[in-house]
Amino acid sequence: MLKAGYQIIWVYIGYRSQDMTAASVVISERAARRIGEILKTEGKGAMLRISVEGGGCSGFQYKFDIERAQAEDDLVIARDSAVVLVDPASVPFLAGSEVDFVDDLIGASFRVVNPNATASCGCGTSFSI
């Protein structure tokens, strides 16, 4: 899990992506910079894993973890000093998504803009497809 003080926020666009290619998962420049800063504090070899798991009131939720080992079949997204891993089961749920980092008056958070999500719960912590 991420250290205390980091918040994950979800944002959804209401259309379905027909293209479920792994290459369409994007890490924004701001997210890459912030992920790089976080990984630097975690020590050499640290990577961020983003996965989708069952749960929440809408059916699915994102999980963010720091990893040191990469599985052979992981999707690896590298941008600047950020290295993000996505397991093969989560790739279809994230295809077409953009992971961004926003720092505003409300607070600093990662946001996943996921075109595959058709609905989300009222609190914004889970989604359905």
Share of the chain above pLDDT 90, in %: 45
Q: Does the residue 44 lie in any domain?
A: yes
| pLDDT, position 62 | 85
Q: Does the residue 95 lie in any domain?
A: yes
Global pTM value: 0.76
CB 110 within 8 A of CB 63: no
Range(s) of the domain holding residue 49: 7-128
Q: Does the residue 71 lie in any domain?
A: yes
3-state class (DSSP) for residue 92: helix
Which helix (H) or strand (E) segment is 120 a member of? strand 119-120
| pLDDT, position 22 | 45
Domain harbouring 34, CATH code:
2.60.300.12
Continuous H helices in 61-109:
91-94
The domain total for the chain is 1
Instruction: Give the whole-angstrom CA distance, residue 26 versus residue 100.
Output: 9
Q: Does the residue 1 lie in any domain?
A: no
Lowest-pLDDT range, 12-26, 37-51, 64-78?
12-26
pLDDT tens digits for 27-50? 999 999 999 999 999 999 999 999
| pLDDT, position 123 | 55
- Rg value, the chain, Cα: 14
Among residues 5, 4, 11, the alpha carbon closest in space to that of 124 is found at 11
